[in-house]
Amino acid sequence: MHSDYHAPVLLQACIEGLNIRPESVIVDVTFGGGGHSKAILEKLGPLGRLIAFDRDRDAWQNAASLVSAEEGKSDGRFTLVKADFRWMHNYLRYLEVLPVDGILADLGVSSHQFDTGARGFSFRFDGPLDMRMDHRARRTAAQLLRELDEASLTDLLRKYGEVDGAHRVARQLVSAGARETIGTTYQLVEALRPVTPRSKENSFLAQVFQALRIAVNDELGSLEALLKQSAKLIRPGGRLVVMSYHSLEDRLVKNYMRSGDFGGVENKDLYGNRIRPFNPLSSKAIQPTDHEIAMNPRARSARSRIAERT
């Protein structure tokens, strides 16, 4: 694993939550730097299987690190699927591994993606305003900005970034043809300057960048597809472990695990029993310790939820 790619967050809690047996079939839908996958393989026996997904080509090269130290060859128990996990069902059916015993998702952006200026995920570096997690996707963040009208951009900023005064921000970006000249991260920061709160500059920019990134990659759409498919793909008694980093993701995960509905609407049978595909193992999300946050500051916003298939 490339240690500088992405430090796995809440590693021990996630591995314990999956309740891995030697013969388990586990799916890691966000391979990234391979940290979680490596720990999963250490728990699996010779008959176990690990299927990992990642749509980011920068992550694919990390699969080479999952080799047998003794034999110097790739681990035959491991398969990397170079695709968005929203297509998980089709790939798992093709690989003939259904049903699976556990699914792990570490959502959001990797440290590598944030720290590589050329990817355009962070306002800390200058680079193309790209933000695509999958290089094969058509639309970059810069293209998205040029395509949206003021009303649509306002809705995007409010919904995905929870930006205060989203209408003012959208108006600023579409006024005077500003967005036509926005092709880099620093150009976007400069265009936002008239509406950037001086006392909250970093948090404001983070919200705007988050909103654009979520839209470019349809992150919430992929998450909803993941949750719906998990109910069909995990065997009864199997586990679903999802780590999220902002309230939009965590709310979807919490509601679905509790009720089987993204809005949190409960369905009950004639006897008043809740009908839901999963039973949450805890009413509260697992959060990193102060020690882990000190070692890895980006773990601060992580929330992990674990549920068992009914």
Sort 72 into a burial class: Cβ within 10 Å, 0-12 / 13-18 / 19+. Answer: exposed
Confidence at residue 2, expressed as pLDDT on a 0 to 100 scale: 47
Q: What is the DSSP letter of 286?
A: B
Average pLDDT for 141-157: 96
pLDDT classification of 208: cutoffs 50, 70, 90: very high
Nearest alpha-carbon partner for 27 in 41, 6, 16, 13: 41
- Extract the tokens encoding 261: 């509905």
Alpha-carbon distances, residue 77 vs 22, 44, 138, 239, 310 (angstroms) = 11, 9, 33, 20, 27
11-111+219-309 placed in CATH 3.40.50.150: yes
Mean pLDDT to the nearest integer, 188-193: 95
Cis check: omega of the bond before 22, within 30 degrees of 0: no
Tell whether the torsion through CA atoms of 95, 100, 104 and 105 is positive or negative.
Answer: positive
Domain segments of the chain: what residues?
Answer: 11-111+219-309, 117-217
Per-residue pLDDT tens over the stretch 12-34: 999 999 999 999 999 999 999 99
Those residues whose C-beta lies under 8 Å from the C-beta of residue 294, and which sit 6 or more positions away, are: none
The tokens for 71 are: 């034999």
Burial 16-27 (b: 16+ CB within 10 A, else e): ebbbbeeebbbb
Q: Are the beta carbons of 164 and 173 closer than 8 angstroms?
A: no
Region 50-67: what's the mean pLDDT? Answer: 88
* pLDDT tens per residue, range 259-301: 999 999 999 888 988 899 999 999 999 999 999 999 988 899 9
Tally the C-alpha atoms within 13 A of residue 133's C-alpha that lie toward its C-beta. 26
- Return the CATH number of the domain spanning residue range 117-217: 1.10.150.170
Total-model pTM: 0.92
- What are the b/e assignments for 187-211, b being 16+ CB within 10 Å? bbbebbeebbeeeeeeebbbbbbbb
**7 pLDDT higher than 90:** no
